[in-house]
């Protein structure tokens, strides 16, 4: 290690401990322990351009151990990303670009919001998958538009989390050789030594999962560099176990959990400065010489991007159609709005109808040729979720041009991988499972919402309508839980044509994840003569059946499979002199975004008599029906029986709607 190397590495340590101390909050130990590894990676290997953090062919760097955020912020400051010392001083403070954990969209150079441990690990697998897809589709023997690695720093905690096991298995199966993870093996967690909780051997585990594994001294620069070089030559994903000392340099706290999640304290900080040979006693005071690292990083980045731009220019000349397709893929280009009506299938009215999961599969196959980047799959439920793109092959280690992904029984990893593909760019990914298993997807859905990325999730078997599988598989609280998550669009269409227009809305939505919630059982395809047009689904809610007079006596609000129950109830109520309106509400979130005038047109505020009906938790529906209304739903677990019997037993029926309407109108004994 040269004197300059030592200066840069210790600058990372000093900035990290000073920022945590000033904030009186944070994690100094991990940044201090991994400073050597991070420095070697960022100074010798990482291909990036600090002047343009979004340059496409950059290497991606993920700090999966996001609690050690000051490691990343120090690197961004020292290599020229425009993250000032003032921002470092404002670590964890209101309005700063240095929040407690890295947040996508707030800080330049942060590739994703890693959030809970394990999410960064699994999201990186999705990034590597997308890079392989783009390379397979667009690289030429003499020109590689996609030629980058996905690096991550992962921790003992990441490797404990179950999601990392799923994602590592998937990465090994797919042979993602562009994936290189640096494991901070400091053998310390918040509670103390990992001996408290771990007896397994991560090296053997990852070897068994199909990874190349190396073990190095995490403070020996040449060992670290040699391991990264070997990993770059591997035909497998790589894990480099870096044996480090947490809190390296702190005389009294290094190697101990006391340096993990709390400031070192002023006295220990001064002792650490002395131990590291740091001459400047003031916090955040860096020597001028360290600026050479920033200058070199900016210079290398400019050269790398300029060379890529020159190659891209030549590529356009030789392969003009591929170049256009490449740019369309990067910009997530979709068919113009004017063409969607011709692209989407139009389903003929049918009393027998079809399950909305089947309609969804038909929609996906109708639009796939118009959106060549659409790529999806399922967590071992492809036939049940109906997510297969016909004729598009199965993605595998030797076929990344295929558009169907078999994720296996790995719901956690699938959802995070979808996020990773979105963040990487060039692919429009979706993934499917049963709605009840959205619990396993929920952390990644939340990350997608935080990152404001358009991840697509397909959830079939959406209610007690799946019948015989019983309470463990019948979702009750899941719609409410998904709707409670900020910035998530939840679609529950009522028939095949609503499915089509909901898919259009979901795919066009760019600033957050969308969820398609679909039935197992068949639903009638509505005859739209005299009903609202299915295209109105895009507005989130619309008048499906208007009252006969000038003003409704009451309003029935329904979603999904219960819309038809509401329609049947409405017809009966009219024979009794109750003039009701039926509102189909496939996406509450989109309805909330509509103008006040439209919302009041659909739900006139003066009409207080309202009934909501949905085969799930009633939680949240009181907002729409008010204190004078009635919510029909299920606030208990389900039953194993044929679905029509379950609906009857749990009281989600046309007759229940009719009885509720009579109650509201004070006409319980009136029958026409």
pTM for this predicted structure: 0.97
- Averaged over 80-92, what is the pLDDT? 98
What sign results for the dihedral spanned by CA atoms 187, 191, 195, 201? negative
pLDDT recorded at residue 188: 82
| Predicted confidence band of residue 47 (pLDDT cuts 50, 70, 90) | very high
pLDDT at 11: 98
- What is the DSSP annotation of 59-111? PEEEESSGGGHHHHHHHHHHHTSS--HHHHHTTT-TT-S--SS--TTTSTT--
Encode pLDDT of 202-233 as tens digits: 889 999 999 999 999 999 999 999 999 999 99
- Span 568-590, pLDDT tens digits: 999 999 999 999 999 999 999 99
Q: Which token pair is 429?
A: 């990914």
Kind of pairing between the strands at 610-613 and 60-63: unpaired
DSSP 3-state of 536: helix
Residue 631 in any domain: the answer is yes
Domain end residue (candidates: 470, 491, 525):
525
**Residue-wise DSSP of 411-471:** HHHHHHHHHHHHHH-S-EEEEEEEGGGHHHHHHHHHHHHHHT---EEEEES-SGGGGGG-T
Q: What are phi and psi of 607, to 5 degrees?
A: -90, 100
In three-state secondary structure terms, 141 is coil
- Name the more confident of 188 and 336: 336
| Stretch 30-37: mean pLDDT | 98
Distance CA 29, CA 476 (A): 43
315 within a domain of the structure (yes/no):
no
Output the DSSP codes for 247-299: TTT-TTTTTSGGGTSS---HHHHHHHHHHHT----STT---GGGHHHHHHHHH
Binned at pLDDT 50, 70 and 90, residue 671 comes out as very low
Structure tokens at 671: 């029958």
Q: What is the CATH number of the domain that holds 543?
A: 3.40.50.920
Catalytic residue among 166, 305, 392, 411: 411
Q: What gap in Å lies between CA 459 and CA 122, rounded to an integer?
A: 20
In which band, very low, low, confident or very high, does the pLDDT at 190 lie, cut at 50, 70 and 90? Answer: confident
Residue 326 domain flag: no
Distance CA 392, CA 103 (A): 35
Q: Strands 554-558 and 542-545, how do they pair?
A: unpaired
pLDDT confidence of 415, banded at 50, 70, 90? very high
**What is the chain's length?**
672
Helices (H) and strands (E) in the chain, counts: 26, 20
Beta-ladder partners of 192: 189
Pair (545, 436) in one structural domain:
no
> Any catalytic annotation for residue 411?
yes
Q: How confident is the model at residue 106 (pLDDT cuts 50, 70, 90)?
A: very high
Nearest to 161 by CA among 116, 197, 129: 116
Q: Do 78 and 195 share a domain, yes or no?
A: yes
Model confidence over 648-661: pLDDT tens digits? 999 999 999 999 99
Query: Token pair of 77, please?
Result: 């400051």
Could you give the residue ranges of the DSSP H alpha helices within 467-618? Answer: 478-484, 496-508, 562-575, 588-593, 596-602
pLDDT (average), residues 553-581: 97
CA distances from 584 to 118, 467, 565 (A): 39, 24, 11
pLDDT of residue 189: 86
Mean pLDDT is lowest, of 179-193, 209-223, 290-304, 395-409, for 179-193
Mean pLDDT throughout 245-255?
96
- Residues 142 and 199 grouped into a single domain: yes
566 confidence band (pLDDT: 50, 70, 90): very high
Q: Are 374 and 552 in contact (CB under 8 A)?
A: no
Other residues' Cβ atoms within 10 Å of the Cβ of residue 663? 13
Based on the fold, state whether residues 168 and 73 are members of the same structural domain: yes
* CA gap 660, 14 in Å, rounded: 68
pLDDT at 195: 87
Closest by CA to 616, choosing from 457, 459, 382, 384, is 459
489 and 591 housed in the same domain: no
Q: What is the pLDDT of residue 292?
A: 98
Let me know whether 65 and 144 are in one domain: yes
**Domain co-membership, 251 together with 353:** no
Please indicate, yes or no, if residue 307 is contained in any of the structural domains.
no
Count of domains in the chain? 3
Could you tell me whether strands 522-525 and 350-355 are parallel, antiparallel, or unpaired per DSSP bridges? antiparallel
pLDDT in tens, 136-158: 999 999 999 999 999 999 999 99
pLDDT at 667 exceeding the cut of 80:
no
Distance (Å, whole) CA 332 – CA 134: 13
How far is it, in rounded angstroms, from Cα 293 to Cα 80? 9
pLDDT band at 112 (very low <50, low <70, confident <90, very high): very high
Shared-domain flag, residues 489 and 549: no
- DSSP-assigned states of every residue in 3-35: HHHHHHHHHHHHHHHHHHHHHT-S--HHHHHSH
How many Å apart are CA 301 and CA 284, to the nearest integer?
Answer: 26
What local confidence, expressed as pLDDT, does residue 1 receive?
86
Which residues, in sequence order, are bridge partners of residue 350?
Answer: 525
Range of the domain at 296: 3-302
Residue where a domain stops, chosen among 302, 325, 357: 302
Tell me: do 25 and 82 sit in the same domain: yes
- Residue 311 located in a structural domain: no
CA distances from 516 to 371, 446, 462 (A): 18, 16, 10
* Assigned domain for 219 exists: yes
The CATH number that applies at residue 450 is 3.40.50.970
Pair 255, 383 in one domain: no
506 is a domain residue: yes
* Whether residues 387 and 428 fall in one domain: yes
| The domain boundary residue, chosen from 473, 495, 525 | 525
Distance CA 420, CA 427 (A): 10
Average pLDDT of the residues in 506-526: 98
pLDDT of residue 638: 97
The span from the CA of 33 to the CA of 184, in Å, is 8
Q: Which residues contact 627 (CB under 8 A, 6 or more apart)?
A: none
User: Which whole number is the average pLDDT over 600-612?
Assistant: 97
> Does residue 332 form part of some domain?
no
Q: Are residues 436 and 343 in the same domain?
A: yes
Average pLDDT, stretch 26-54? 98
Q: According to the model, what pLDDT value does residue 672 have?
A: 37
């Amino acid at each position: 290690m040269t004197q300059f190397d030592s200066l840069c590495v210790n600058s990372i340590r000093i900035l990290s401990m000073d920022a945590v101390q000033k904030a009186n909050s944070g994690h100094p130990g991990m940044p201090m322990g991994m400073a050597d590894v991070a420095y070697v990676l960022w100074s010798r290997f990482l291909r990036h351009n600090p002047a343009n953090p979004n340059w496409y062919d950059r290497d991606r760097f993920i700090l999966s151990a996001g609690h050690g955020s000051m490691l990343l912020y120090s690197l961004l400051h020292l290599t020229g990303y425009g993250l000032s010392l003032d921002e470092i001083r404002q670590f964890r403070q209101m309005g700063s670009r240095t929040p407690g954990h890295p947040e996508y969209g707030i800080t330049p150079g942060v590739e994703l919001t890693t959030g809970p441990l394990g999410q960064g690990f699994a999201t990186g697998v999705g990034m590597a998958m997308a890079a392989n897809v783009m390379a397979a589709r667009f690289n030429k023997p003499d020109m590689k538009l996609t030629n980058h690695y996905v690096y991550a720093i992962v921790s003992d905690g990441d490797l404990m989390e179950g999601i990392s096991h799923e994602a590592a298995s998937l990465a090994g199966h797919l042979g993602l050789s562009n994936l290189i993870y640096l494991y901070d093996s400091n053998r310390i967690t918040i509670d103390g030594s990992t001996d408290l909780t771990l007896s397994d051997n991560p090296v053997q585990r990852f070897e068994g999962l199909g990874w190349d594994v190396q073990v190095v001294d995490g403070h020996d620069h040449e060992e670290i560099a040699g391991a990264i070089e070997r990993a770059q030559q591997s035909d497998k994903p790589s894990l480099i176990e870096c044996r480090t000392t947490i809190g390296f340099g702190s005389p009294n706290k290094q190697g101990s959990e006391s340096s993990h999640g709390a400031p070192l304290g002023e006295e220990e900080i001064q002792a650490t400065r002395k131990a590291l040979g740091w001459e400047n006693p003031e916090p955040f005071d860096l020597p001028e010489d360290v600026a050479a690292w920033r200058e070199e990083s900016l210079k290398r980045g400019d050269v790398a991007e300029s060379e890529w731009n020159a190659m891209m220019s030549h590529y356009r000349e030789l392969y003009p159609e591929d170049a256009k397709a490449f740019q369309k893929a990067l910009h997530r280009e979709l068919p113009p709005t004017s063409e969607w009506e011709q692209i989407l299938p139009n389903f003929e009215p049918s009393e027998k109808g079809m399950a909305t999961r089947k309609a969804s599969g038909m929609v996906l196959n109708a639009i796939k040729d118009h959106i060549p980047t659409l790529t999806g799959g399922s967590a071992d439920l492809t036939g049940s979720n109906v997510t297969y793109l016909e004729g598009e092959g199965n993605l595998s280690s030797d076929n990344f041009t295929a558009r169907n992904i078999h994720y296996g029984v790995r719901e956690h990893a699938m959802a995070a991988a979808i996020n990773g593909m979105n963040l990487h760019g060039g692919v429009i990914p979706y993934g499917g499972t049963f709605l009840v298993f959205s619990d396993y997807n929920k952390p990644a859905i939340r990350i997608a919402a935080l990152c404001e990325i358009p991840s697509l999730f397909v959830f079939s078997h959406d209610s007690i309508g799946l019948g015989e599988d019983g309470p463990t598989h019948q979702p009750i609280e899941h719609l409410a839980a998904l709707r409670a998550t900020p910035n998530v669009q939840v679609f529950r269409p009522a028939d095949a044509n609503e499915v089509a227009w909901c898919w259009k809305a979901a795919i066009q939505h760019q600033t957050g994840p969308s969820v398609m919630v679909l039935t197992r059982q068949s639903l009638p395809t509505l005859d739209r003569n005299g009903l609202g047009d299915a295209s109105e689904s895009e507005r989130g809610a619309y008048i499906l059946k208007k009252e006969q007079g000038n003003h409704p006596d009451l309003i029935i609000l329904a979603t999904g499979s219960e819309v038809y129950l509401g329609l049947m109830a409405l017809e009966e109520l009219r024979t009794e002199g109750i003039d009701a309106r039926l509102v189909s509400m496939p996406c509450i979130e989109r309805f909330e975004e509509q103008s006040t005038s439209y919302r009041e047109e659909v739900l006139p505020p003066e009409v207080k008599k309202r009934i909501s009906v949905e085969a799930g938790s009633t939680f949240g529906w009181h907002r729409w029906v008010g204190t004078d209304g009635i919510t029909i739903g299920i606030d208990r677990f389900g039953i194993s029986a044929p679905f029509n019997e379950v609906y009857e037993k749990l009281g989600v029926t046309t007759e229940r709607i009719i009885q509720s309407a009579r109650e509201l109108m004070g006409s319980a004994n009136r029958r026409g």
